[in-house]
């Protein structure tokens, strides 16, 4: 897979930086779009969405769709390239979670106080530092300019130790915390700092798994069953707001709502993220930290917040039941396998009217192809730049999120899909045999 076509492109992410990002000061984030719900609620969410974030730092992988804003290139050149549930607490000592896949444990009823639970859980919360290499030029009136390379801390977030074996301990964090890192460092409760290796990550779900030497770790946390959560239940957030100086800060709140859906723009494209809403304070640097139930089990990974004047107490966490399968796939394969088209896409609603009129199509909803990767499934099926996709397998496509959700939720590698699209005002149909994103080689 070629970096120039990557959805994780830093250039692409910069072009979409219209949103205020909650993690901006510590994680170099980008942007996101409004939540798609009923017409009445959509008006409210469209304003909030400008401040919901799934932050982005750089570029790593490539999937199948690429946010796009270079309209002149698109329309002027159609050839543009494209543990155990029996314990009193969800925390467990170093022998737990040492082998096999990670599991969601039954919800534990604990008699411990919140303070006791936090004391036991805190050692499994770490700081995650994104280190990037930068080149600086040194100028002297007496010497030729000299370039020097240095490593700088580009951002920081939080992480949760969830598994340990004889060699390594494993940490889950948000993908946007470590995206683009040349090195990753982990700050532990003991005060030690350890070099971490990236096991794998997934930008759409905003999750990544790291590993460090097991000798650093004495405690891990287990995952509780997020499906049993109810609005009004107490939850505790632990993380590193505003950086490592305030490491393992504890805030308490309630579950404000379950099964929320927020639309976010990541370096892998637009995505509807299923989240838990909480009023526990989540601040810059908390991304990747734990949302715990009162027994100390991880029921979510803190990821997003609303950051807008007059708006307080709107934080969001990825539910444990959603993240555990992704963690297991990353542990097994090193990445999350998804079907791959090999095109760049942009919703018609995002195209300026002056360019939209030039398409000469009788529809107002759909997605326009902005690039086609040579040799990809889309290329083999004859799709071209400026084609406007309106249906996939008889399912209407209103925007790029619709297309992506159908592809990733309903189809597997090797499946054939029928795509209806407009080209020059004429409705056409083609069949695409879907590839795997893992089959494409990154530079």
**Which DSSP letter does residue 27 get?**
H
**Which DSSP letter does residue 440 get?**
S
> Computed over its alpha carbons, how large is the radius of gyration of the chain?
22
Output the six-digit token pair for 292.
């715990």
User: What is the C-alpha separation between 33 and 402, in angstroms, rounded?
Assistant: 13
142 alpha-carbon distance from chain centroid: 48
**Residue 176 annotated to the active site:** yes
Q: Which of 189, 202, 206, 270 is catalytic?
A: 206
Q: Which of 219, 222, 287, 371 is catalytic?
A: 287
Which distant-in-sequence residues (6+ apart) come within 8 Å of 282 by Cβ? Answer: 22, 237, 239, 241, 251, 302, 304, 305, 315, 316, 317
Burial classification of residue 37, based on how many CB atoms lie within 10 Å of its CB (0-12 exposed, 13-18 middle, 19 or more buried): middle
User: What is the C-alpha separation between 387 and 422, in angstroms, rounded?
Assistant: 6
User: What is the C-alpha separation between 268 and 303, in angstroms, rounded?
Assistant: 16
**Residue 154 annotated to the active site:** no
Q: Token match 């936090």: residue?
A: 118
User: What is the C-alpha separation between 383 and 378, in angstroms, rounded?
Assistant: 5
Beta bridge partners of 111: none
Q: Which of 6, 176, 270, 307 is catalytic?
A: 176
SS3 206: coil
295 alpha-carbon distance from chain centroid: 27
**Residue 371 annotated to the active site:** no
Q: Which residues form the catalytic set?
A: 176, 206, 287
């Amino acid at each position: 897979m070629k970096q120039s076509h990557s959805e994780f492109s830093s250039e692409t992410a910069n072009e979409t930086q219209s949103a205020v990002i909650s993690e901006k000061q510590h994680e170099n984030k980008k942007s996101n779009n409004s939540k798609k719900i009923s017409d009445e609620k959509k008006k409210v969410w469209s304003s909030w969405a400008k401040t919901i974030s799934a932050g982005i730092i750089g570029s790593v992988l490539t999937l199948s769709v690429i946010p796009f804003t270079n309209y002149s290139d698109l329309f002027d050149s159609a050839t543009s390239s494209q543990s155990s549930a029996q314990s009193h607490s969800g925390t467990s000592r170093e022998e737990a979670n040492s082998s096999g896949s990670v599991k969601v444990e039954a919800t534990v009823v604990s008699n411990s106080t919140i303070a006791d639970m936090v004391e036991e859980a805190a050692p499994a919360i770490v700081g995650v530092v994104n280190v990037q290499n930068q080149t600086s030029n040194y100028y002297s009136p007496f010497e030729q300019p000299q370039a020097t390379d240095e490593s700088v801390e580009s951002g920081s977030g939080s992480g949760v130790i969830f598994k340990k074996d004889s060699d390594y301990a494993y940490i889950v964090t948000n993908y946007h915390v470590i995206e683009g890192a040349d090195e990753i460092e982990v700050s532990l409760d003991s005060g030690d700092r350890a070099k971490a290796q990236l096991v794998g990550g997934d930008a759409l779900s905003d999750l990544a798994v790291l590993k460090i030497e097991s000798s650093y770790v004495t405690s891990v946390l287990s995952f509780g069953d997020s499906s049993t959560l109810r609005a009004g239940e107490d939850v505790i957030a632990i993380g590193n707001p505003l950086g490592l100086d305030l490491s393992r800060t504890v805030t308490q709140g309630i579950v404000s709502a379950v099964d929320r859906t927020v639309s976010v723009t990541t370096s892998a494209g637009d995505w509807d993220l299923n989240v838990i809403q909480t009023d526990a304070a989540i601040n810059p640097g908390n991304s990747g930290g734990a949302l715990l139930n009162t027994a100390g089990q991880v029921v979510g990974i803190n990821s997003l917040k609303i950051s807008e004047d007059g708006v307080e107490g709107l934080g969001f966490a990825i539910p444990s039941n959603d993240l555990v399968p992704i963690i297991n796939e990353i542990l097994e394969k090193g990445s999350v396998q998804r079907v791959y088209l090999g095109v760049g896409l942009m919703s018609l609603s995002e195209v300026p009217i002056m360019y939209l009129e030039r398409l000469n199509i009788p529809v107002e909803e759909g997605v326009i192809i902005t690039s086609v990767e040579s040799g990809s499934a889309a290329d083999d099926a004859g799709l071209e730049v400026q084609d406007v996709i309106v249906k996939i397998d008889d399912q209407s496509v209103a925007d790029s999120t619709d297309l992506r959700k159908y592809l990733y939720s309903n189809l597997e590698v090797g499946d054939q899909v029928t795509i209806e699209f407009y080209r020059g005002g004429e409705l056409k149909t083609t069949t695409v045999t879907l590839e795997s994103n893992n089959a494409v080689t990154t530079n």
